[in-house]
A and B are shown apart, each in its own frame.
Chain A
Amino acid sequence: AQSVAQPEDQVNVAEGNPLTVKCTYSVSGNPYLFWYVQYPNRGLQFLLKYITGDNLVKGSYGFEAEFNKSQTSFHLKKPSALVSDSALYFCAVRGGTDSNYQLIWGAGTKLIIKP
């Protein structure tokens, strides 16, 4: 079965420290991978995507993610966390077949950055 896992419900990081939010996936074929962020009482906002090419992808607000095919992972990273990065983060992967692609979502990871 195709799936996305975000193994941590919550991640706590001190301001200024590096942060990592983990995502692993299981899909057939080449994966298209996405990260989205959700601030309180708002819709999701696109951060970055991996389709093909360089395994390190840079996105909005200083975030980046590394595609690791052998480990089937796409972890979100930032070198220095800000309090304003506190939000809910979702990983998503395009799965399915040529005739019926679907976007499969992880359950989300709450990121808390403490001053």
Chain B
Amino acid sequence: NAGVTQTPKFQVLKTGQSMTLQCAQDMNHNSMYWYRQDPGMGLRLIYYSASEGTTDKGEVPNGYNVSRLNKREFSLRLESAAPSQTSVYFCASSANRGGSYNSPLHFGNGTRLTVT
């Protein structure tokens, strides 16, 4: 079982460049999430999608955009990368309906992004 697959695993960008992080899940989950992880700060929610066709801002959405392409795929785009966006990015999915958070999250292995 693949679970949640993220690509790429590593990326180095220069300030101002753009890129899209891809995420796909094969568990038929309704909800998908994008988090960033920074040392000593736990996880911070960037955007989430409670169901196919809907997206909502999380705690730190500035500088990011998302697309819920279909039930399986949820991409995160950085339009103009900044050094403050250097982080590890995790995609997650869950069987949660709406924003209930009753069910556990299943995480991908992350993308390590460095912006110079």
CA distance A42 to B102 in the complex (A): 23
Rounded to whole Å, the gap between the CB of B34 and the closest CB of chain A is 12
Q: In the complex where A43-B109, A107-B40 touch, is A32 in contact with B104 (Cβ < 8 A)?
A: no
B100-116 interface code vs A (CB 8 A; 1 in, 0 out) = 11101111111000000
In the complex, the answer to whether B45 meets A102 with C-beta atoms within 8 Å is yes
Residue B90 at the chain A interface, CB threshold 8 Å: yes
Residue A94 at the chain B interface, CB threshold 8 Å: yes
Contact of B43 among A51, A101, A105 (CB under 8 A): A105
B37-68 interface code vs A (CB 8 A; 1 in, 0 out) = 00011111100000000000011000000000
Instruction: Provide the residues of chain A in CB contact with B92, threshold 8 Å.
Output: 43-44
Instruction: Provide the residues of chain B in CB contact with A108, threshold 8 Å.
Output: 40, 42
Closest to B6 in A: A43
State which residues 38-57 of A face B: CB under 8 Å. Answer: 41-46, 49, 51
Interface size on B, residues (CB 8 A): 22
In the complex, the answer to whether B99 meets A46 with C-beta atoms within 8 Å is no
Closest to A105 in B: B42
Residue A34 at the chain B interface, CB threshold 8 Å: yes
In the complex, the answer to whether B109 meets A32 with C-beta atoms within 8 Å is no
Residue B4 at the chain A interface, CB threshold 8 Å: yes
Contact of B109 among A42, A51, A103 (CB under 8 A): A42
In the complex, the answer to whether B110 meets A103 with C-beta atoms within 8 Å is no
Rounded to whole Å, the gap between the CB of B29 and the closest CB of chain A is 13
In the complex, the answer to whether B109 meets A46 with C-beta atoms within 8 Å is no
State which residues 1-21 of B face A: CB under 8 Å. Answer: 4
Q: List 15 A-B contacts (CB under 8 A).
A: A32-B101, A32-B102, A34-B104, A42-B110, A43-B107, A43-B110, A44-B105, A44-B107, A94-B102, A101-B99, A102-B45, A103-B105, A106-B42, A107-B40, A108-B42
